[in-house]
Amino acid sequence: KENSNDEILKTLEEDQKEADRNIAYDGSDLIDWIKSNGGFIHPNTRIGLDPTSQYRGVFVKSVGGEDGGTPDGIEKDAIICEIPWDVIVSPPNYHYNDYGTTCDALHGFYHQFQLGDESKYAPY
Protein backbone atom coordinates (compact mmCIF):
# COMPACT_ATOMS: atom_id res chain seq x y z
CA LYS A 1 0.00 0.00 0.00
CA GLU A 2 1.34 3.41 -0.96
CA ASN A 3 1.75 6.00 1.81
CA SER A 4 -0.18 9.22 1.53
CA ASN A 5 1.69 12.52 1.40
CA ASP A 6 0.44 13.30 4.92
CA GLU A 7 1.94 10.06 6.29
CA ILE A 8 5.24 10.76 4.57
CA LEU A 9 5.33 14.33 5.91
CA LYS A 10 4.51 13.11 9.42
CA THR A 11 7.36 10.58 9.25
CA LEU A 12 9.77 13.25 8.02
CA GLU A 13 8.73 15.61 10.82
CA GLU A 14 9.26 12.88 13.44
CA ASP A 15 12.68 12.08 11.97
CA GLN A 16 13.62 15.77 12.09
CA LYS A 17 12.54 16.06 15.74
CA GLU A 18 14.70 13.04 16.61
CA ALA A 19 17.65 14.55 14.72
CA ASP A 20 17.16 17.86 16.56
CA ARG A 21 17.18 16.03 19.93
CA ASN A 22 20.41 14.27 18.97
CA ILE A 23 22.06 17.53 17.92
CA ALA A 24 20.99 19.30 21.12
CA TYR A 25 22.08 16.40 23.37
CA ASP A 26 24.29 17.83 26.11
CA GLY A 27 25.37 14.59 27.76
CA SER A 28 24.10 15.59 31.21
CA ASP A 29 22.43 12.22 31.76
CA LEU A 30 25.64 10.43 30.74
CA ILE A 31 27.65 12.64 33.10
CA ASP A 32 25.21 11.84 35.93
CA TRP A 33 25.51 8.12 35.12
CA ILE A 34 29.32 8.28 35.14
CA LYS A 35 29.29 10.12 38.48
CA SER A 36 26.77 7.70 40.01
CA ASN A 37 29.16 4.87 39.07
CA GLY A 38 32.14 6.47 40.82
CA GLY A 39 33.51 8.46 37.90
CA PHE A 40 34.45 12.10 37.58
CA ILE A 41 33.83 14.69 34.88
CA HIS A 42 35.43 18.10 35.37
CA PRO A 43 32.67 20.70 35.87
CA ASN A 44 34.23 23.00 33.26
CA THR A 45 33.75 20.50 30.44
CA ARG A 46 30.78 19.65 28.27
CA ILE A 47 29.72 16.73 26.11
CA GLY A 48 28.38 17.67 22.71
CA LEU A 49 28.96 18.07 19.03
CA ASP A 50 32.19 19.52 17.75
CA PRO A 51 30.98 22.71 16.04
CA THR A 52 33.31 22.04 13.11
CA SER A 53 32.20 18.46 12.44
CA GLN A 54 29.62 15.77 13.07
CA TYR A 55 31.49 14.15 15.94
CA ARG A 56 30.57 14.18 19.61
CA GLY A 57 33.15 14.46 22.34
CA VAL A 58 34.19 15.98 25.66
CA PHE A 59 35.16 19.63 25.33
CA VAL A 60 36.49 22.32 27.64
CA LYS A 61 33.89 25.00 28.16
CA SER A 62 35.03 28.29 26.76
CA VAL A 63 35.30 31.51 28.71
CA GLY A 64 31.99 33.16 27.89
CA GLY A 65 30.47 32.17 24.56
CA GLU A 66 27.30 30.37 23.58
CA ASP A 67 27.66 27.53 26.08
CA GLY A 68 27.62 29.92 29.03
CA GLY A 69 31.31 29.42 29.48
CA THR A 70 33.18 29.59 32.72
CA PRO A 71 35.51 32.23 34.11
CA ASP A 72 38.11 29.58 34.96
CA GLY A 73 38.43 27.13 32.09
CA ILE A 74 40.64 24.18 33.09
CA GLU A 75 44.05 24.53 34.67
CA LYS A 76 47.11 22.82 33.24
CA ASP A 77 47.39 19.16 34.33
CA ALA A 78 43.82 19.11 35.68
CA ILE A 79 41.96 15.83 35.38
CA ILE A 80 39.19 16.16 32.81
CA CYS A 81 37.51 12.82 33.41
CA GLU A 82 37.99 9.54 35.23
CA ILE A 83 36.01 6.49 34.22
CA PRO A 84 36.18 3.48 36.57
CA TRP A 85 37.41 0.29 34.87
CA ASP A 86 34.29 -1.60 35.89
CA VAL A 87 32.03 0.67 33.80
CA ILE A 88 34.15 0.46 30.65
CA VAL A 89 32.81 -2.06 28.14
CA SER A 90 35.64 -4.53 27.68
CA PRO A 91 36.13 -8.18 26.75
CA PRO A 92 35.69 -10.83 29.43
CA ASN A 93 38.85 -11.35 31.52
CA TYR A 94 40.35 -8.12 30.20
CA HIS A 95 43.06 -6.38 32.23
CA TYR A 96 43.85 -2.68 31.94
CA ASN A 97 47.37 -3.41 30.71
CA ASP A 98 46.23 -5.96 28.10
CA TYR A 99 46.71 -4.38 24.68
CA GLY A 100 45.29 -7.18 22.55
CA THR A 101 44.31 -6.56 18.96
CA THR A 102 41.38 -8.95 18.73
CA CYS A 103 37.72 -8.11 18.28
CA ASP A 104 36.90 -9.29 21.80
CA ALA A 105 35.93 -5.78 22.90
CA LEU A 106 33.48 -5.53 20.00
CA HIS A 107 31.96 -8.88 20.95
CA GLY A 108 31.63 -7.70 24.56
CA PHE A 109 29.98 -4.48 23.41
CA TYR A 110 27.55 -6.39 21.19
CA HIS A 111 26.67 -8.72 24.06
CA GLN A 112 25.85 -5.71 26.27
CA PHE A 113 23.80 -4.21 23.42
CA GLN A 114 21.79 -7.44 23.19
CA LEU A 115 21.07 -7.30 26.92
CA GLY A 116 19.36 -3.93 26.42
CA ASP A 117 17.94 -2.52 29.64
CA GLU A 118 19.30 -5.54 31.55
CA SER A 119 22.89 -4.46 30.83
CA LYS A 120 24.78 -2.80 33.68
CA TYR A 121 25.68 -0.14 31.09
CA ALA A 122 22.06 0.68 30.22
CA PRO A 123 21.00 3.00 28.77
CA TYR A 124 24.46 3.62 27.31
- Is residue 67 pLDDT above 60, yes or no? no
Average per-residue pLDDT for the chain: 76
pTM: predicted TM-score of the whole model, two decimal places: 0.60
What is the full DSSP assignment across 13-53?
HHHHHHHHHHHH---HHHHHHHHHTT-EE-TTEEEEE-TTS
Burial of 34 (0-12, 13-18, 19+ CB in 10 A): buried
pLDDT of residue 36: 93
Structural domain boundaries in the chain: 5-88, 89-124
Could you give the C-alpha distances from 122 to 72, 117, 119, in angstroms and in order? 33, 5, 5
